[in-house]
Structure 1
Amino acid sequence: MKLYLVPSPIGNLADITFRAIDTLKTADLLLAEDTRTSSVLLQHYQIQKPITPYHQHNEHKVLQHLIEQLQAGKTMALLTDAGTPGISDPAFLLVRECIKNNIEVECLPGATAFVPALVNSGLPINNFCFEGFLPLKKGRQTFLKNLTEEERTMVFYESPMRLVKTLHDFIEYFGAERQCCVSRELTKKFEENKRGTLQQVCDYFNSKTVKGEIVIVVAGK
């Protein structure tokens, strides 16, 4: 009995390890955040396995059943839509429950969106903090206020629809001249990394239609 956390490509389907493919082929059951998204990856590598949905809307409901299957000797591999399970994606509840029940958990190394965004930002990376997605409403102002004195480089995830609003919020709390880098469509054909002050980058994206997953890297104070 064992749970494998398998990083999936964040865009380019070639960005997966040989070991990850072998794990997906040999696991008894695959768990997927979105079975449609994972099916594209599995078909590309000719992997035919039963897939069970596992996402933020059903993780509490299916948790005990999954633990029982693992205790019965099954091996499972958890995939998210893109990147490493547990990094702003479902995994924590299942991992915690496995540990409580002495079920072995192994996380494979692999794709994670914030790493390439951080490295190519040109900002200091010897010390940084990953903040994931900002709260949408409740607690958002307090969250940002608590970061105003942060001296480390900060990394955030954001959706295309909220990018400009978030950049405006950053200008309000961090100042218009704070350096940043916005990365989108990482590893894909139209990858873009826009660097400059928060004001410059905000003006740039305010004048265009934005698509793709977003990583925002902001310099510390």
Structure 2
Amino acid sequence: MFKARDLKESNLLLLAPLSWWRNNYPQYNDNGDAKKTPDWSKAADDIIRECSKAGVYSSDSIRGLGFWRDGDRTIQHLGNVLYDVTNDKKVSMLDPSLKGIYQRESAQPKRTTKLAGEELVDLFIKAINSIYWKDPTHAQLFLGWIVLARFCGLLDWRSHIWVTGEHGAGKSDTVLDAFRIALGSGNYISAKGSTTEAGARQRLAFNAIPLYDCPGA
């Protein structure tokens, strides 16, 4: 993020190559010949005016990896590309119709894995139900969380679940393995039990990705 006083040649070259600035902000000498140096002052002035039109900046508009609601569209942020799920097409991160500010991240592969069949889904549900839950309805809550986890960016409030049990009961192994299978590797962040709220927020940053806090018990 640059302040107005930082809109100098060296910083503007981080935004676009020299050739772009020469083409869009040319300078001419008295003979009408184009100079090699772009009109940096005019470029900086245009940037400042456009920022004023855009209004006050808000970090709430920044969006990282994951699924997001953008107006009447659902957008999937894959790091180096945006995918309009609603209209089944790619979208430029600079598309002026976007409501959010999508930061470029490390490229994430677009999942093309086919949906599991009814037989596999039934087998997975039976496996979850076979875990020793204090109350059978807890299995349904856990399954509900798994379904919502990947789409937390579309919700007004990120869903939470807290799995408890005695030391050695298998919370880390059984439960973690269950949603590893359901979500797939790379689709969640795993934290240690000693991770603080501030640490968890720092790891998540602006990404809409499920976070699993592993107590290690």
User: By the TM > 0.5 criterion, same fold?
Assistant: no
The bucket for the TM-score relative to the shorter chain is under 0.3
Asked which structure has the greater RCO (Cα within 8 Å, sep 6+), the reply is 1
Of structures 1 and 2, the larger Rg is shown by: 2
Task: Give the structure with the larger strand fraction.
Answer: 1
TM-score w.r.t. the length of structure 2 is: 0.25
